Amino acid sequence: MELPDFPLLLAPMEDVSDPPFRAVCKENGADLMYTEFISTEGLIRDAIKSRQKLDIFDYERPVGIQIFGGDEEAMALSAKIVDATQPDLLDINFGCPVKKVVCKGAGAAVLKDIDLMVRLTKACVDNTSLPVTVKTRLGWDDNSKNIEEVAERLQDVGISALSIHGRTRAQLYKGDADWTLIAKVKNNPRIKIPIFGNGDIDSPQKAKEYKERYGVDGIMIGRAAIGYPWIFREIKHYLATGETLAAPSINERVNACRKHLEGSIKWKGEKLGILEMRRHYANYLRGLSHVKEYRSRLPETEEEDYILSLRKALTGEALSYEIAPSDYNRMGEVEAVVVGDKGQSPDFLYIGCSDSRVTAEDLMGVGPGEVFIHRNIANMVVSIDMNVMSVINYAVRHLKVKHIIVCGHYSCGGVKAAMQPQDMGILNPWLRNIRDVYRTHKDELNAIESEEARYDSRETAVTHDLLALLFSYAPNYAERGLKIQLLCGSGEANMRPFGKCRIAASIPG
């Protein structure tokens, strides 16, 4: 990992440092970025929110994944999970002052027990091939500023760099950051690792002043970058020339906000993507009179009509098709035919990929009406997806199917896309489920020499789909007195038992 002589780092910020935000900061000069911090307990439980934060992309590099926790075993396991994701470094958060984190004995709470901090750090260093860095604070409060001891002891167990926020936990974000202690750590002759300073850097002039006064190896910028990613390029220009770079034009600001907004929508969906942009709007839109009315309502609104109107204000055009009254009349002339389930009693539910090359009926050798069909990209069974779970619920509870088949196939474009480090836009949240399977079985899959053969290894993903079915619908099959048999393989001749369960259904797959 290569960094410039004086790198500018984007601080990891919860609910802020997501991929769309990192993208605009990278474009404007951030040298090293971090994900939002991830709970180690959430990672080892495979919690949805935690695993979503693992997604990184090549255009972001160098990028680090930050974790937090207070349990050595969870730290060690999480380090292995992060290692499989292949970021450029693993960062540990020992500085978050938020109550819900501190109450769990994590974040800044660890500043009260340096021995524990050392053990937690060593657990990570010993279980990853990645460089391990730490972000922390001066101490718990004014009476326990122990950052000098922390720096020496963490260096001794193998960290590669240390970022220090110039406040104690007791200060939260109040008062001025004290960089004098950061400078003492940097000037300690025992300290050989890079020391990055953090806190109150909100202008190019202050960045230059603090660089020269305190001698740090780089600066980490957090809140000043929210809605103003140009802070990185402005600091770089000022450090190089001593001149203040012109502020971004109105067009540049609107375009950057629009790009960030569109990225957020692709990543999180329209409503959530726009709502979670609220913290950025004030800085992006400062001085733009034509959106003043919208901006004043941002903190409290969640109305979908308002969200759409804000989006139009930023783009200057309607981004979604609106049906004119005359269209309703034409639509009313079309007779709607609703087909109920009368006479429908299929024995099979088939879950397959959205692939056009073969029908489920042809594949199974059955006729119309014998199989209930659901298709999606990469034939996934995702327990939080309302679409697939509604189909399964209807098939199991109402149609009372006896068999569920999850069918994968070779040359699946969705699987190939998920196993490559590329940004797939709106598909990212869906393909994340395949990426998680890849991370879990990374060693096994990477041992397959042929890249194409690796992409064709569908059994692993199908097995995960079958287990999702088992845990979701086993009780319903038990009530009907059916037996569960999980089979996985590529073709009838290769089917092998995957596992046994005392309850319920015939699910060949």
In the block, tokens 């990672």 appear at 43
Residue 290 is labelled as binding a ligand: no
- Give the span between the Cα atoms of 78 and 72, in whole angstroms: 10
Catalytic, 103? Answer no
Residue with tokens 């500023």: 145
Among left, alpha and beta (phi > 0; psi -120 to 50; other), residue 105 is: left
Beta strand pairing call for 485-488 and 496-500: antiparallel
Around Cβ 342, how many Cβ atoms within 10 Å? 6
Active-site choice (96, 124, 257, 407)? 96
**Long-range residue pairs from 371-377, CB within 8 A, at least 24 positions apart, any chain:** 371/346, 371/347, 372/344, 372/346, 372/348, 372/399, 372/401, 373/349, 374/349, 374/350, 375/351, 376/351, 376/430, 377/353, 377/414, 377/427, 377/430, 377/431
Q: How far apart are CA 88 and CA 130, in angstroms?
A: 7
DSSP 244: P
- Is 355 known to sit in a ligand binding site? yes
Q: Is the Cβ–Cβ distance between 22 and 53 less than 8 Å?
A: no
Is residue 488 annotated as involved in ligand binding?
no
> What is the rounded (10 degree) CA torsion for 314, 317, 318, 319?
-70
* Whether 33 contacts 11, CB under 8 Å: no
Tell me if 412 is assigned to a ligand binding site.
yes
Which tokens is 470 given?
A: 């088992």
Active site residues: 96
Residues in the annotated binding site for Zn(2+): 353, 355, 409, 412
Binding residues: 353, 355, 409, 412
